[in-house]
Structures are given as structure tokens and as C-alpha cells.
Amino acid sequence: MQQLKKRMHNTLITIAGLVVLTTSAFAFAGEKPSFAPKVPHPENGTTECVEPEDEMKKNHMNYILHQRDKTMHEGIRTKTYSLKECINCHVPENSEARFGDDKHFCSSCHNFTGVSIDCFQCHMDRPMEGKATKGKNPHGAEATPTAIKATISKYLADTSKTVQDTKDAGNE
Amino acid sequence: MSNSDVNISRRSFVEKSATAAAALTIAPGMFLHTVAEAKPADQAVTSAVRWGMLIDTAKCASGCTACVSACNTENGIASHGRPRTDQQWIRKVTLRDKQTKHEISLPMLCQHCETPPCVDVCPTGASFKRDDGIVLVDRHICIGCRYCMMACPYKARSFAHETVDNTVDYQPRGKGTVESCTMCVHRVDEGGTPACVEACSEAEHGAMIFGDIKDPDSEISKELIKHGGKQIRADLGLNTGVRYRGI
């Protein structure tokens, strides 16, 4: 009996401690409590990406992958979805941070999520001298090529459909 | 992309080319020629052009390596101090006639074949030919098997044995993949000329001409029609995009 009481007492203390800890964490984090890393806006003052932020968080890899093949095989060199332009805008010139450091734009999230990528085994993880984007919202002026956009949307739709189909098939 | 999209862009490309050709006949010149070659960034390359090179061995100076150094600088190729395994996209070759002792010097690079053996043998599709005739390695899908290096009769390809840490943003290169001359595709897509050709004319040898061999009005075509241009190992029937004179 004595032992059970002691155990309950300990549990209560632990729960109380946890409550205090989490509330303070929420208080520090501001209105939106989140444990995800804060992905910074580019230092050049740009606040809007080429697509809405939520879309980019979820699907940036598809945009880059699609552009990759278009550039490599068809010589289409539009800047909107090019990895080079991601880097030119998101990584400041003369940045000390390399891919892998928590401070690097890409690794700030990739390290946290544990998703390893091999882009930077070949591609530069920082802008070349004089290539960093200086102005705000550099892509605002350049209209997104409609054909490319349509293809990507179709690709995304197909992919989600396939996922859905697979799930349905799994349930049966 | 649907077929109709392809047709529209192709049609507009043809229209633009026709306009450019008209401008050419009015006032032929280097600048107009360059304008005619430039392609809008959002348009795919087409088989309406075929990029090629003509190398005049009589003008190529023995001992001059301007093209080689220009290529290395442009594409961020650095030596590891191990010549046998260092990457090399272009090299100087000296040919000596045993009988006459006559020597000629020429740059050897990817010949950008019409029917490239490297593409035939590639197991992943990484080795491919663009519609405009430029033969490339898609390093995203290259598994580094080096079969293409075996198949190439010109020894034009190299393997990156070591980590590459001096890449440039327009020419990403990395360990474990095969690479070769891209005909400076990043420049060509913007209407430019390959670095080696530029360096050769800067060195005042002018042994290399670059251009569209399908356009009868281009400098290279005119030279080819007038003086011809030989293929190295023509017996293989590869129809190379790089042609030589004086061999």
C-alpha cells in the first residue's frame, strides 16, 4: 500500500512537470505551437515563393524534379522552378552554411525530418559569385509558363489519384 | 505535355526561324546570326537544328592547349594530379605519319554522333541525345557503370572517381558518374558558343567553327559545303557532328 502511494505520488509529479514544460514551450513559441523547425524567409526580403508556402512545403520536390527533366532533356531553362534559383534566392551570397548545417536553408528542414537528399553532391549549395538574387520577389515579373504549370498540376493530380487508388485497393 | 502543345511550339519556332532567315538575307552578319540561333528559355530544343563543329587541323597549332584550358575553366574540371584517371572532356592529340613524318595536331572531344554507341549501350537511359544533336549524360540517372566509356570509339568520356568540390552552378558534376563534352549546352541554349571554340578564336588560331549544320546559311555549313569535313572513324557510320579538315 505504502509503495502504491509512493508510485502514484511520483506519477503525479511527473505529469505536473510535463504540464509546466509544455505550457512554457507553447508560451515561448507564440500563438502557433509547433515543434517543426522555423524555415526562414530569404535574407533579401523576399516573402513570397513561386507558389504558396504550403504548396511549396508539400510539393517543392515535384516542381524541381519536373523542371530537372525539362532542362536536362529539352533544354528548357525557365527560372521559376529551377533548383539554381531556389539557391540563388534562399541562400545568401558568401554564406558560410553548407548543406548539412542546420543554418543552410534546405537542411534546416531536411535535417529535422530526416529526409536525405543527394542534390548537393553535384549541385552548388550556395549561389555563384554575383548570382545571388538581390531584389524582392524576383519571380513576380516572370510569368509562370502555363504549359509547364498545367503539366505539373496534372502530374500532381495523377500522383494523388494513384495514392488513393493504392489505398482503396489495399482496403478491399 | 500533349501533342498539340508540341506542335504549337514547333510551328512558332519554325515561324521565328523563317523571320530570322529573312533578316539574314537582308544583312548577313555575325550578330544577326547569333540572334537567329538563340532560343526562348521556355521552348524545347527541336531537331530543326543540329549543332556541330568543324575543326581545321591546318590552323590548329601544335602545343597550343587554349581549348583544353578554356573547357576546364568553364566546366570547373580540376586535375587531381593523376593524369590517368583525371576527367577530361577535350584533349589535344598529335598524329604522325610514319612515312612522311608529317605531324598534325587536333583537339579530340565527344563527336556528338547521330547514332551514338554510348546511348545504345546505356542501361538506364542516362546517356542520351537531345533533339538538337547534343549527346549528354543525365547524371541524375547515371549509375556509373561506365559501359558508355567502353562503347565510345573516341575515348571521349571520363568517370568522376573523386568528390568534385569546385562545381559551377550551370554544370553540376559529381563523383560516381560519367561525364563528357556537353558542347557547352548551357551557353548554346542561350545562343552562345562553346568555350573551346571561343578560346581558339581568342588565341587567333580560328581552327574551330561551331554552328547549326542543318542551316545552309550558317558559317559551318558554308565551310562544309565548300571544303568538306571528314569524320574520324567514318567507317563506323556514326555520322558525327564534329568534323575535321586536313586529316
User: What residues 56-115 of chain B have any CB closer than 8 A to a CB of chain A?
Assistant: none
Full residue range of the structural domain in which residue B114 is found = 48-245
Q: What is the per-residue pLDDT for A76?
A: 95
B130 touches chain A (CB under 8 A): yes
Work out whether strand B51-56 and strand B242-245 pair parallel, antiparallel, or are unpaired. Answer: parallel
Cell numbers found for residue A40: 526562414
Encode pLDDT of B186-201 as tens digits.
Answer: 999 999 999 999 999 9
Q: What is the residue extent of each domain of chain A?
A: 1-29, 53-164
Q: How many CB pairs under 8 A join A and B?
A: 59
Cell numbers found for residue A87: 539557391
Average confidence score pLDDT of chain B: 88
Do B21 and B40 reside in the same domain of the chain? yes
d(CA B30, CA B50): 19
Q: Could you give the dihedral angle defined by the CA atoms of residues A57, A37, A82 and A68, in that order, rounded to the nearest 10 degrees?
A: -70
B5 touches chain A (CB under 8 A): yes
Do B91 and B208 reside in the same domain of the chain? yes
Which residues does chain A have within 8 Å of residue B164's beta carbon, measured at their own beta carbons?
Answer: 122
Contact assignment for A128 to B168 by CB distance below 8 Å:
yes
Residue among B77, B182, B85 at smallest CA distance from B132 = B182
Do B112 and B203 reside in the same domain of the chain? yes
CA distances, B131 to each of A147, B8, B47, B135 (Å): 20, 17, 5, 9
pLDDT band at B23 (very low <50, low <70, confident <90, very high): very low
Q: What is the per-residue pLDDT for B166?
A: 78
Encode pLDDT of B34-80 as tens digits.
Answer: 445 578 988 999 999 999 999 999 999 999 999 999 999 999 999 89
Phi, psi dihedrals of residue B143, rounded to the nearest 5°: -105, 5
Cell numbers found for residue B45: 530544343
What is the model's pTM?
A: 0.75
Do B152 and B234 reside in the same domain of the chain? yes
Burial of residue B26 (CB within 10 Å: 0-12, 13-18, 19+) is exposed
Count of residues making up chain B:
247
Which residues does chain A have within 8 Å of residue B167's beta carbon, measured at their own beta carbons?
Answer: 122-124
Q: Over range B83-105, report the average pLDDT.
A: 94
Number of domains in chain B: 2
Residue A43, Cα to own-chain centre: how many angstroms? 16
User: What residues 27-56 of chain A have any CB closer than 8 A to a CB of chain B?
Assistant: none
Do B187 and B100 reside in the same domain of the chain? yes
d(CA B148, CA B123): 9
Checking ipTM against 0.90, whether it exceeds it is no
Contact assignment for B42 to A84 by CB distance below 8 Å:
no
The identity of residue B72, as a single letter, is: N
Do B36 and B99 reside in the same domain of the chain? no
d(CA B151, CA B238): 12
Burial of residue B245 (CB within 10 Å: 0-12, 13-18, 19+) is buried
Cell numbers found for residue A25: 514551450
Encode pLDDT of B136-164 as tens digits.
Answer: 999 999 999 999 999 999 999 999 999 98
Encode pLDDT of A106-157 as tens digits.
Answer: 999 999 999 999 999 999 999 998 888 876 655 544 444 555 566 667 767 7
CATH number at residue B167: 3.30.70.20
Which residues does chain B have within 8 Å of residue A147's beta carbon, measured at their own beta carbons?
Answer: 1, 5, 42
Contact call for residues A69 and A86 (beta carbons, < 8 A): no
Which residues does chain B have within 8 Å of residue A84's beta carbon, measured at their own beta carbons?
Answer: 169-170
